[in-house]
Amino acid sequence: MGAGKSTVGRRLAARLGRPFVDLDAVIEETAGMPIPAIFAREGEAGFREREAAAVRAVAQRKGQVIATGGGAVMRRDNLAALRAAGTLVWLRAPLETLLERAKAEGRRPLLAAGEAAAARLYDERLPVYALADVVVDATDDPDAVAAQIEQRLAGVPDEGPTVVSVPVGAAAYPVYVGAGLLQRLGQLLADRGVTGRCLVVTNPTVGAYYGEPLMQSLAAAGFAARRVDIPDGEAHKNLATAEQIYRAALAARLERRDFFVALGGGVVGDVAGFAAATYLRGVALVQAPTTLLAQVDASVGGKVGVNLAEGKNLVGAFHQPRLVAADVGALRTLPRRELVAGLAEVIKYGAIADPHLLAFLEDRLEGILDRRLSLLARIVARSCEIKARVVAADEKETQGLREVLNFGHTIGHAIEALTGYGQFLHGEAVAIGMVSAALLSHRLGRLSQDAVLRLVQILRRAGLPTAPPPLDTEGLLAVMQRDKKVRDGRWRFVLLDGIGQAFVTDEVPWQWIKDVLAEQQVL
Ligand SMILES: NC(=O)c1ccc[n+]([C@@H]2O[C@H](COP(=O)([O-])OP(=O)(O)OC[C@H]3O[C@@H](n4cnc5c(N)ncnc54)[C@H](O)[C@@H]3O)[C@@H](O)[C@H]2O)c1
Ligand SMILES: [Zn+2]
């Protein structure tokens, strides 16, 4: 309310030469009375029913500009219908602006409830609005806003990066999410007051695509930058590679006040991050993640480390980056299987913390798999927000809060280990583990059958596996025994209390684990 939907909508329609539909007007016409009268006679519930009917009606036709009330998208069926019909635009404005405008208009029944209630409503709706296809600043005058939307519909990518703040340690650090960030990293760093020499750590695969543009951008911003390529692959996430990085840093004469840039997937991020945490007892780190997994998970949260022959991530540190630049444009060259594996972690965030994110994935999956940059930016930013919130509450994993991020990982890790890390990508194993965890949640009476199937469906549509390969269940349980998520001989599982709410339990009988693994085969 007060964002200017009708005014902007009308002007946009005029620019595009399309019909304009005001959903409120449709509702009033059908009801034969003004909206305040509907609220007075039928209450908000009655209004929402009429609104849903109006959405169903208008969403059937394409090629129009529709202005909806701010509450319309809060209903799952409305949102799905509107997303299926076209592009969703959010006219973003601060609450204060909205209140002022709404007061001036003086026709809004919801506002009658008071400013505190309006603030609550704003907080409630924000997570849904944030997942619109196009977000524009609505504090401008209506013509400028309409022009902005028109440009963005034409595919002009002038949307600035989204910034997610990770409030840990002495100072919060920003995660920039957007397209074309690698070419602008030098400027971003300079703007944040970063100075010094730097060592860019990458691998030949990623370096071939993004090494040159990144080095040029650093040079253009005045940084003396050198690059070192480490070999590609998890097998090289080890101390020998860390040593290679230390030597390159010495050769480039990097000192304590200088910094590393990790350009690549989680492997580069983890080992370069570990080298940054330990070189000269620690230099600053900038993460430039280029896989979906690294953008939504590995680059945020400060965990860095390397593997030993005895196991994964056995040596490491907490070393928060100065800045993360997640360039979703880089995801265009990522092999599809890697993209899909990264999506498993995004689905995980939806499952444990945000039903709206899950709904967004359900509605926009095809566009995401087609790598539409605005969609990728939405899911990366939202995932980082969720991870940032969890990490901020439990920076060094001492409170157990960070544990919810391990949804699907108890069995996922065991499957990875048992299959020798060759058969499944991490995200694929996690997908299987999430289905196990969902089924266990259902057995405990905490998750409905429908919710289980919803999760299974989105995983399948993404192309992820949902059942374990025929494997030795006893062996799997033995691997789980050794996993660090076992305390006092009991398995700790992250389960769901409905979509969007996670909890940790050690009350899962091991016979149940066997049962669900079998159940998954026939789902
Ligand atoms: N630190 C953490 O909190 C954390 C969290 C999750 C995972 N991890 C770690 O992350 C690692 C896995 O990361 P990953 O899945 O990114 O794998 P990865 O780093 O091995 O990258 C996968 C492959 O994609 C290539 N690649 C990367 N970006 C590309 C691009 N834009 N275009 C084309 N190819 C590209 C890589 O060279 C590699 O071959 C594991 O070692 C895991 O332990 C760490
Ligand atoms: Zn994971």
Residue 68 vs residues 82, 125, 427, 434: alpha-carbon distances, Å: 10, 14, 38, 36
Half-sphere exposure (CA, 13 Å, Cβ side) for 355?
14
pLDDT of residue 486: 59
Tell me, what amino acid is at 398? Answer: T
Q: ∠ CA 451-55-132 to the nearest 5 degrees?
A: 65
Residues of the chain with pLDDT under 50: none
Instruction: Give the SS3 label for residue 503.
Output: strand
Handedness of CA 383, 384, 385, 387 (dihedral sign): positive
426 counts as catalytic = yes
Report the nearest atom of ligand 1 relative to the CA of 210: 31
The answer to whether 468 and 415 have CB atoms below 8 angstroms apart is yes
* Active site annotation includes 236: no
Give the residue whose CA is nearest to atom 12 of ligand 1: 266
Q: How far apart are CA 9 and CA 64, in angstroms?
A: 10
d(CA 509, CA 489): 12
Helix (H) or strand (E) holding 454: helix 449-462
> Nearest ligand, CA of residue 425?
1
The C-alpha atoms of residue 292 and residue 306 are separated, in whole angstroms, by: 20
382 catalytically annotated: no
Q: Do 19 and 151 form a contact (C-beta atoms < 8 A)?
A: no
Give yes or no for residue 403 CB within 6 A of ligand 1.
no
How far is Cα 226 from Cα 249, in angstroms, rounded to an integer? 9
Q: How far is the CA of 294 from the centre of ligand 2 (A)?
A: 10
Residue type, 516: V
294 C-beta closer than 6 A to ligand 1: yes
| Interval 14-26: pLDDT, tens | 999 999 999 999 9
Is 238 tagged catalytic? no
Give distance in angstroms: CA of 426 to centre of ligand 2.
6
Task: Name the token pair of 314.
Answer: 């056995």
Q: Is 356 a catalytic residue?
A: no
pLDDT value of position 159 = 66
Ligand nearest 348 Cα, by number? 2
Residue-level pLDDT at 181: 96
pLDDT at position 397 is: 82
What is the pTM assigned to this prediction? Answer: 0.88
Q: Report helix, strand or coil for 273.
A: helix
* Ligand 1 close to Cβ of residue 448 (< 6 A): no
Residue 321, ligand 1, Cβ within 6 A: no
Question: Distance between CA atoms of 16 and 303, rounded to whole angstroms?
Answer: 49
Question: Is residue 369 packed enough to be buried (19+ CB in 10 Å), middle (13-18) or exposed (0-12)?
Answer: middle
In this predicted structure, what is the pLDDT of residue 35? Answer: 92
To the query of whether residue 409 is one of the catalytic residues in this protein, the response is: yes
In Å, how far from its chain's centre is CA 198? Answer: 29
Q: How far is the CA of 411 from the centre of ligand 1 (A)?
A: 20
Secondary structure letter of residue 187 according to DSSP: H
Ligand 1 atom closest to the CA of 316, numbered from 1: 1
Nearest residue to 164 via CA among 301, 259, 291, 292: 301
Asked whether 397 lines ligand 1 (CB < 6 A), one says no
Q: Which residue in the list 62, 281, 474, 487 is annotated as catalytic?
A: 281
Q: Which residue among 227, 406, 454, 492 is the active-site one?
A: 406
Please state the atom number of ligand 1 nearest to the C-alpha of residue 292.
16
**Across the strands, what pairs with 65?**
20
Closest CA to 162 of 131, 191, 190: 131
Tokens 């009917």 belong to residue: 53
Atom of ligand 1 nearest to the CA of 205: 37
State the catalytic residue, choosing from 28, 345, 403, 416: 345
| Ligand nearest to the Cα of 296, by number | 1
Q: Is residue 333 lining ligand 1, measured as CB closer than 6 Å? A: yes
d(CA 401, CA 404): 6
* Position in ligand 1 atom list of the atom nearest CA 300: 3
Instruction: Name the active-site residue from 184, 413, 442, 454.
Output: 413
**Contact, 372 vs 159, CB < 8 A?**
no
Residue nearest to atom 7 of ligand 1 (CA): 298
> ∠318-409-506 over CA atoms, to 5°?
100
- Cα–Cα distance measured from residue 288 to residue 71, given in angstroms and rounded to the nearest whole number: 37
Write the residue with the smallest CA distance to atom 14 of ligand 1: 266
Ligand 1 pocket: which of 238, 293, 407 to mutate (most atoms within 8 A of CB): 293
Cross-strand pairs, 199: 226, 260
At residue 216, what is the residue type?
Q
Is the shortest distance between the CB of 383 and ligand 1 below 6 Å? no
What is residue 108's predicted lDDT score, i.e. its pLDDT? 60
Q: What are the φ/ψ torsions at residue 159 (nearest 5 degrees)?
A: -70, 125
Pick the ligand that lies closest to the CA of residue 202.
1
- Catalytic entry in 402, 442, 454, 492: 402
CA dihedral 459, 460, 462, 465 (to 10 degrees): 80
**Closest listed ligand to the CA of 301:** 1
Q: Tell me if residue 348 is catalytic.
A: no
pLDDT tens by residue, 404-416: 999 999 999 999 9
Q: Are 495 and 506 in contact (CB under 8 A)?
A: no
* pLDDT on residue 452: 98
Cα distance between residue 47 and residue 33, in whole Å: 11
Question: Do the Cβ atoms of 470 and 458 come closer than 8 Å?
Answer: no
C-alpha gyration radius of the chain: 25
| Residues near 311 by beta carbon (within 8 Å), at least 6 away in sequence | none
- Catalytic residue status for 371: no
Closest CA to 294 of 261, 260, 322, 325: 325
Does the C-beta of 290 come closer than 6 Å to ligand 1?
yes
What's the CA-to-centroid distance between 291 and ligand 1, angstroms? Answer: 6
**Which pLDDT value is given to residue 488?**
65
Instruction: Count Cβ neighbours within 10 Å for each residue of 55-84 and write b for 16 or more, e otherwise.
Output: beebbeeeebbbbbbbbbbbeeebbbbbbe
- SS3 state of residue 230: coil
Going from the C-alpha of 225 to that of each of 84, 129, 164, 364, the distances in angstroms are 47, 40, 26, 39
CB 371 within 8 A of CB 142: no
Please state whether beta strands 284-289 and 259-264 pair in parallel, antiparallel, or not at all (unpaired).
Answer: parallel
